[in-house]
Structure formats: C-alpha cells, structure tokens
Amino acid sequence: MPVCRIVTASGIPTSLRAGKKSASRSTSIRWPRPGALAALDDTKHVEKTRKVNSRGLRLYARTFRKLKLEFIPSQANFILVRVGDGQRVFGELQKLGVIVRPMGGYQLPEWIRISIGTPKENKPVSRGVEKTF
C-alpha cells in the first residue's frame, strides 16, 4: 500500500533548501498537501495525535527504564534507544515481526530508532524489545 509522508520544516532558508534537495521524490506529493495542511487546523485531530504520541513515548520510556537501556527523551514521533549492536537487534526484532531502524548509517551503530504508533501498534513493539533483552 502506498504511503504518503507530508514533511513540514522551519529553519534557516539555506538549510531548508539543502534539505529539500536531498529529500527523496516520495517525501512529498502535491495533491495531499491541502488535506495535510487542513489537518493541522483541525485542533481536535492535532490534540488527539499529540496525546497518542505522548502515550507511546511514555510506554517506551517505561520499557527502556525497566530494561536499563539508555534512550534519548523525545517529543517527536520516534525515539532512539541504545541497544548495543543495533544491526543485530534490528534483525532479532524483525524475526518477531517488529520493524525498527538501525542507526549505523548515521554513525550510531549501537542505537535503533523506534517510530511511535497507536497503542495497538506500540504494545507489540515494546513486548518485542522486552523479549530481545
């Protein structure tokens, strides 16, 4: 199933231009932009999304503390956690049906990135991390 990602950014104009040049072609498609921008004006939707994200971040923080794993506190829709060999843990989680991103390509070989989803999506990921450790 195709996925559309709408990216918003603010910053120094020269940095934004550089980021735009390096973005993949699939990052932005013209037709969904009005809908995505309208969603930002839907305060109920935005608040619900923030609450779901906060709940997911809290779940992962509890899981990582319980397992004594270092993590970087986040306000974004993902969290970084130090797992030792990120590529190995990526493979182990993938065997359990859990998809994360190893961060070796960003010179963080001991870390993985976990996207925050809905409670139904986050619980199996949290259990997978617990099972792996």
- Percentage of the chain exceeding pLDDT 90: 66
Separation of alpha carbons 124 and 2, rounded Å: 23
pLDDT tens for residues 98-132?
A: 999 999 999 999 999 999 999 999 999 999 999 99
pLDDT at 60 over 90: yes
Confidence of residue 2 (pLDDT cuts 50, 70, 90): very low
pLDDT tens for residues 11-23?
A: 555 554 555 555 5
Domains of the chain (ranges; CATH) run 1-41 (no CATH), 44-132 (3.90.1150.10)
Separation of alpha carbons 32 and 8, rounded Å: 13
> In sequence order, which residues have a C-beta less than 8 Å from that of residue 75 and are 6 or more positions away?
57
Q: How confident is the model at residue 17, as a pLDDT? A: 54
pLDDT tens for residues 66-82?
A: 999 999 999 999 999 99
Q: Looking at residues 52-69, what average pLDDT do you find?
A: 97
Separation of alpha carbons 120 and 126, rounded Å: 11
pLDDT at 31 over 90: no
Tell me if 29 sits within 8 A of 59, measured CB to CB: no
